[in-house]
Chains A and B, each alone.
Chain A
Amino acid sequence: MTGIEWIKAASVLGAGLSVGFAAIGAAIGEGYTAGKANETLAFRPNLAGEILKTMLVGQAVAETAGIFGLVIAMLLLFSPMEGKSLLTAWAYLGAGLSMGLSAIGCGIGAGLPAGTACEGIGRQPKVAGQLNTLMLIGAGVAQSTAIYGFLISLLLLYKQLPMGMAIVPAFSMVGAGLCMGFGGIGPGIGEGMAAGKAVSAVARNPLTLGLMTRSMLVGQAVSESTGIYSLVVALLLLLNI
């Protein structure tokens, strides 16, 4: 096997890992939202339009993690391979792992506030606007680690690599992908849990909206910290080459 065939093999494997793992999270999150929406519709059928709208908006946010995975998979499949260093194969593998794994948590996390927003609209249809806003803020913060994963993938895809093959940079690139990929799972799910509970608390008591937004963001910021440590370690690993 020649160098270019190894690069091609790594790029198709990376594309599969990227879109495959990313699909897990997005699908679970969207399914949770749809389940909650149906549960609510069973006892509030007159709110069908409002609940359907919130469900679709929430699912669209959860889907973005899956779309990031798809974008990286397409970039991997159609990236130029002629005259590239053999190290590119390892970079492509790392890029797929980083994007795919980090999207798992964010897809699930974005689905949780969307589900409780549907439930909350069934409980308090009057504050649907506030619930939607809080859901979008919470889900947006939960997406952040998928964006870090996307960033590390792009850095790996477009890195200028020295010719030839050496084991240290190869392993450090796969390590960076695994670091950001796994590191994105926990904060994504955790931030989604915080946002979900905050949305359901506002649905119970709409007067606490300001207090709840603040508490939610403080909790999410602390939950984000390990995602940021992962980003830092992944960047240090990339600088090591």
Chain B
Amino acid sequence: MEIMGADIVRAFALLGAGIAMGLGAIGPGIGEGFAAGKACEAIGRSPQEAGLLTRTMLVGQAVSESTGIYSLVVALLLLFVV
């Protein structure tokens, strides 16, 4: 079995893509769930403010999502560009 240098780069780029997206998904998943949980708690306390709370929750989750999207972009770059 002969392994070329280019193969090694490609192999590690694919492994790196998997690790990047996998670990990158942990934080946003927990963070967005935390925001959703607190929003549910708040809507339970004052149901008349449900619209405002849902909007605030979604804005907060969108910011929390950003690192997940960075991971996705890096994983796709590693998959298709490197």
Contacts and interface: CB of A to CB of B under 8 A. Distances in A.
8 contacts: A175-B17, A187-B33, A191-B36, A193-B34, A205-B47, A211-B43, A215-B50, A219-B39
Interface string B36-58: 11111101110100100110011
A197 B37 contact: yes
B30 to A, nearest CB: 5
Give the interface size bracket for A toward B: 35 or more
Given A172-B15, A215-B40, A219-B57, A166 B22 contact: no
User: Contact size class for B?
Assistant: 35 or more
Contact of B15 (A171, A207, A236): A171
Nearest to A101: B22
Given A180-B22, A229-B68, A219 B32 contact: yes
Contacts, number: 208
A168 B13 CA distance: 9
Given A168-B11, A189-B30, 6 more contacts: A170-B11, A205-B44, A219-B39, A225-B32, A226-B68, A234-B18
Interface of A: 101, 105, 109, 164-168, 170-172, 174-198, 200-202, 204-205, 207-208, 211-212, 215-216, 218-220, 222-227, 229-230, 233-234, 236-237, 240
